[in-house]
Amino acid sequence: MTDGVVYSEHKTLQDARLAIMADVPYIKKGTSPGLRYTYAGEADLIAKLHPAMRRHRVTVCPESVEVVSETEYATASGTRMVNVRATVGYVFRHGDDQQYVAVLAEASDSGDKAASKLMTIALKYALRQFFLIETGDDPDATAHQRAAVADLTSEMAHEKIEAATTVEELEVFQKAAATKAPGLRSEINLMISRRKRELEGAE
């Protein structure tokens, strides 16, 4: 026992990984003021996993970054954006045992933070995939739900906004929804504002 933490002993990384999966099988979604849905953000993921990773002596660090593309574009409002896509490799370690995990991530920014946002997103999904963290979000479950914007429900809007990976996608959806889903306009704007903050990451 060190610093108030009771550490567990495991012979392999896989044993430690299974123990962490047992400790954190699901991230409970929280609420956001003004919205009628719940969500699990990056802070929720880290808050739950960090104590379990310390307890079972598992660390993770970036090992490689391979830029796939870097492009510039303008939003409908004329804002200049930079979009970056990259494959980021992470190494999970437990003693001398280690495993490499690679994720494809994407982020956009109007300034110079596209790369740092990408790294934030990449880590979030590397952790979710390595430890098989369930949050209730399943892109495959909604990939073929192509309901017209006019028929949007609060749940459909949430799914579409959560699936967005760039600010531009959010702006396009916001513009379309503004004229076709007036009953949801305020809620959609709040959802999009929250999702933009997630994509923008730490300033």
Report residue 193 as tokens: 């504002």
Summary mean pLDDT of the chain: 80
The more confident residue out of 62 and 193 is 62
> Tens digits of per-residue pLDDT, 108-118?
888 888 899 89
pLDDT attached to residue 191 = 82
- 125 in Cβ contact with 107 (< 8 Å): no
| Ramachandran angles phi, psi of 96, nearest 5° | -90, -5
> Tens digits of per-residue pLDDT, 31-56?
555 554 455 566 778 888 999 999 99
Confidence band for 163, pLDDT divided at 50, 70 and 90:
confident
Is the pLDDT confidence value at 193 over 50? yes
According to the per-residue pLDDT averaged within each range, which of 76-90, 137-151, 170-184 is highest?
Answer: 76-90
- 13-200 folds as Enolase-like; domain 1 (3.30.390)
The more confident residue out of 81 and 178 is 81
Q: How is the chain split into domains, by residue range?
A: 13-200
The more confident residue out of 199 and 155 is 199
> Tens digits of per-residue pLDDT, 129-159?
999 888 665 444 443 333 445 556 666 777 7
- Poorest-pLDDT segment among 123-127, 130-134, 175-179: 175-179
Q: Is 5 strand, coil or helix?
A: strand
Report residue 165 as tokens: 């990976």
> What is the Cα–Cα distance from 122 to 159, expressed in whole angstroms?
20
Beta pairing, strands 80-94 & 59-74:
antiparallel
